[in-house]
């Protein structure tokens, strides 16, 4: 199943222009089976949208994006209360501190931290080895070759899974990049398992030109 693993909605992400209505309508119109909502340190839209999407037969996968001195990370977990403990800007998660039902994706690593203002430097991956399950190699806002190449190299060095996500802030950008996951994907736990088992394939929609909406 193809799942966009990185999206933002308004108002939980004030940088996004995608309203609840737009998000649900886009998913229904495009036959989306599952999509991950990964707002910046705010789970309120996940709580609101999950039932609305479920009513349309769409699974909402739960994640939260955090900005740290090492870059931006998305933490996935089926436990919304656990995800609610994260702030938009905070310390990087440390190995051994996360519960087994959580997975961590280092998103747009070559682009640095969106809200922390941190920059990537060579060797930084050693600081997060052990905590990162996956690296986002295709991000809809950062498809320039240098960002993709850097992310591919980091993923290889860490032995991490590779993902794609649109990082959409407008509805038209959803699924610009996405991740192929082994079927079936019935819950956030299935996504966490696929990330931990390195069973993900990143894709970018080739027909689209990368467009940037907002910075991160």
Measured CA distances, 58 to 76, 139, 156 (Å): 18, 22, 32
**Beta-bridge mates of residue 134:** 105, 161
Task: Pick out residues in 154-173 that bind Zn ion (CB under 5 A).
Answer: 167
Gyration radius of the chain's alpha carbons: 15
Interface segment toward Zn ion; rule CB under 5 A; list 82-90, 107-115, 124-132, 174-182: 107-115
Residue 189 CA to residue 173 CA, distance in Å, equals: 26
Q: Taking CB under 5 A as the rule, does residue 125 contact Zn ion? A: no
Smallest distance, Zn ion to C-beta of residue 184, A: 26
Q: Taking CB under 5 A as the rule, does residue 4 contact Zn ion? A: no
Q: Taking CB under 5 A as the rule, does residue 109 contact Zn ion? A: no
Q: Taking CB under 5 A as the rule, does residue 190 contact Zn ion? A: no
Q: Taking CB under 5 A as the rule, does residue 114 contact Zn ion? A: yes
Smallest distance, Zn ion to C-beta of residue 99, A: 23
Q: Taking CB under 5 A as the rule, does residue 72 contact Zn ion? A: yes
C-alpha 107 chain-centroid distance: 7
DSSP state of 98: S
Decide: helix, strand or coil at residue 134: strand
Q: How many CA atoms lie within 13 A of 39 on its CB side?
A: 25
Q: Taking CB under 5 A as the rule, does residue 216 contact Zn ion? A: yes
Q: Taking CB under 5 A as the rule, does residue 147 contact Zn ion? A: no
4 vs 167, which CB is nearer to Zn ion? 167
Decide: helix, strand or coil at residue 71: strand
- Chain residues in the site for Zn ion (CB under 5 A): 65, 72, 114, 167, 216
């Amino acid at each position: 199943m193809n799942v966009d693993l990185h999206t933002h909605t308004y108002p939980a992400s004030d940088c996004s222009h995608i309203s609840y209505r737009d998000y649900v309508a886009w998913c229904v119109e495009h036959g989306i089976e599952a999509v991950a909502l990964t707002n910046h340190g705010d789970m309120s839209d996940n709580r609101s949208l999950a039932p609305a999407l479920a009513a349309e037969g769409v699974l909402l996968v739960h994640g939260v994006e955090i900005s740290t001195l090492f870059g931006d990370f998305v933490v996935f977990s089926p436990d919304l209360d656990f995800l609610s403990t994260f702030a938009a800007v905070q310390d990087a998660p440390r190995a051994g501190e996360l519960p087994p039902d959580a997975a961590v994706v280092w998103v747009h690593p070559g682009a640095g931290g969106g809200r922390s203002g941190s920059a990537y430097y060579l060797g930084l991956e050693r600081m997060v080895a052990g905590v990162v399950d996956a690296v986002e190699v295709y991000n809809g806002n950062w498809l320039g070759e240098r960002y993709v190449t850097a992310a591919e190299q980091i993923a290889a060095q860490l032995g991490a899974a590779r993902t794609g996500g649109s990082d959409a802030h407008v509805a038209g950008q959803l699924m610009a990049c996405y991740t192929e996951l082994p079927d079936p994907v019935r819950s956030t736990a299935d996504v966490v398992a696929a990330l931990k088992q390195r069973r993900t394939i990143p894709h970018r929609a080739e027909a689209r030109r990368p467009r940037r909406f907002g910075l991160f």
